[in-house]
Chain A
């Protein structure tokens, strides 16, 4: 995969952003983003705060319309579609904040994931399938979602995102605010998604973990893609480490390595 790939309309490219600009009001946050996401891969976006990582996800899911450039999904320009239409094409966005409906049960939350489907039987069937992948759904089925711990909630959110059998899952900082144990299991779940053939576009401030799980990665800097590479190559690059990964990337941490 190459950032400025021109031959991106190969069957393997699921999502292709070229020269995308977007923002709120007068100011632009994205100032020409080029990014290609290959089918079946996990792509991780890293970069400083305010670089526009979340904005990329919003532009893909339709929460925000791109002001310029094109957003191609499966070869189709989806830039003018509503977020619901994009949902119907298999793009699911899991936002950064806790996004469950706290007083609804876990089961109802999962059912809500199939909201745009009109076939109720199908929704139920999918929910049962999802419950098999994410045991927490079956285990806490009738519990109010708000009573679950943060890690459990994130698992349910991931479960819910599968209800539409999506081609592309957009994950915005799934590990934020999670304790180490929950983080580990969330990243494990993300890896599993890819193993099942889903494509994931991941934004992660916890760059090391994000890069570790990603096939490919891109560094976003001031509204543009500054670098791309495989997850591992970025992790190993001392320059990237200095600029983007901080002290924590200066070799494996003694504290955790002893474990």
Chain B
């Protein structure tokens, strides 16, 4: 029982960080119908930036989010502008899958060029600090990371619900043509949306770098998890991806603790398939009247 609860605590804390990465991914899908296979590599890029800031200039990894987030925001905007904007036609979804994969490969190549393939991680002085609460271990980094994810997700929610930009994003998601006719610049929304998605990756990356060892190739594992999360949650549903991330975090942590780590991701993929068997649109993917 003790190990079960411990596993659930861990799973929830980890799930929070994945929720952050996945929310950016699903946001990008919602706006542009682009399955962003580069989301994982953007997280890794964020982690490397944090690493450099920390080792070269001693910037605290949590504080470095203030630098990495805007930086990756710009990267995201640039990527959208240069590589995704030119795509058009009926199969943009499929093309963008490959384009974002190419971006992932390219960034991976750049990172190996700059950093090599050595696994690194970010080790601030408090990296190994943990509390014991009622006999359960709660690591400081994990806890702060979780809270931070909640804060960033909250900000994202506010931006989408309360700002004019958020309204234009939602409008573009729901009816791009109509939004354009009202003066919403779809390219600009897409660029900003992609930037926002990349920014969440940066925030998650800074945290990821403290929790895990990583190298340029780490993005393959990340992206496979992110994809299952966003599909499980229902493509385009941010709330869904948060729930799915928590489900995934807890599921893999519990299976890991009670059975074996070698089956933990497997369990999750199987859960995904079962869910899709019953609900092909994922947990929160909507099927509305008139949609056929």
Contacts and interface: CB of A to CB of B under 8 A. Distances in A.
Contact of A99 (B167, B175, B183): B175
Contacts of B174: 101-104
B6 to A, nearest CB: 40
A101 B184 contact: no
B183 to A, nearest CB: 4
Interface in A172-189: none
Interface string B149-168: 00000000000000010011
A23 interface: no
Nearest to A58: B181
30 contacts: A61-B181, A63-B181, A83-B180, A84-B183, A87-B182, A87-B183, A88-B183, A92-B181, A93-B181, A94-B181, A95-B177, A95-B181, A99-B175, A99-B177, A99-B178, A101-B171, A101-B174, A101-B179, A102-B174, A103-B170, A103-B174, A112-B167, A112-B179, A112-B182, A113-B182, A115-B182, A115-B184, A116-B183, A146-B288, A160-B182
Contacts of B180: 63, 83
B185 interface: yes
Interface string B174-204: 1101111111110000000000000000000
A83 B185 CA distance: 9
A28 to B, nearest CB: 20
Interface string A109-137: 00111011000000000000000000000
Contacts of A93: 181
State the main secondary structure of chain B at its contact with A: helix
Contacts of B185: 84
- Which interface residue of B164, B171, B177, B182 has the most chain A CB atoms within 10 A? B182
Contacts of A88: 183
Contacts of A71: none
A100 interface: yes
Contacts of B184: 115
Contacts of A84: 183, 185
A95 B288 contact: no
Residue among B167, B171, B183, B185 having the largest count of chain A Cβ atoms under 10 Å:
B183
Given A95-B177, A112-B179, A115-B168, 5 more contacts: A63-B180, A83-B180, A83-B183, A84-B185, A102-B288
Size class of the contact patch on chain A: 20 to 34
Interface of A: 61, 63, 83-84, 87-88, 92-95, 97, 99-104, 108, 111-113, 115-116, 146, 160
A83 B179 CA distance: 11
Q: B interface, how many residues as a size bin?
A: 10 to 19
Nearest to B185: A84
Given A115-B182, A115-B183, A101 B175 contact: yes
Contacts of A111: 167
User: For A63, A84, A111, A115, which residue has the most chain B Cβ atoms within 10 angstroms?
Assistant: A115
Contacts of A102: 174-175, 288
Contacts of B177: 95, 97, 99
Interface in B48-105: none
Nearest 3 pairs between A and B by C-beta? A99-B178, A116-B183, A101-B174
Nearest to B180: A83
Contacts of B179: 101, 112
A83 to B, nearest CB: 7
B171 A112 contact: yes
A92 B182 CA distance: 8
A4 to B, nearest CB: 30
A188 B260 CA distance: 70
A95 B168 CA distance: 18
A93 B180 CA distance: 10
B194 to A, nearest CB: 20
Contacts of A108: 167
Contacts of B182: 87, 112-113, 115-116, 160
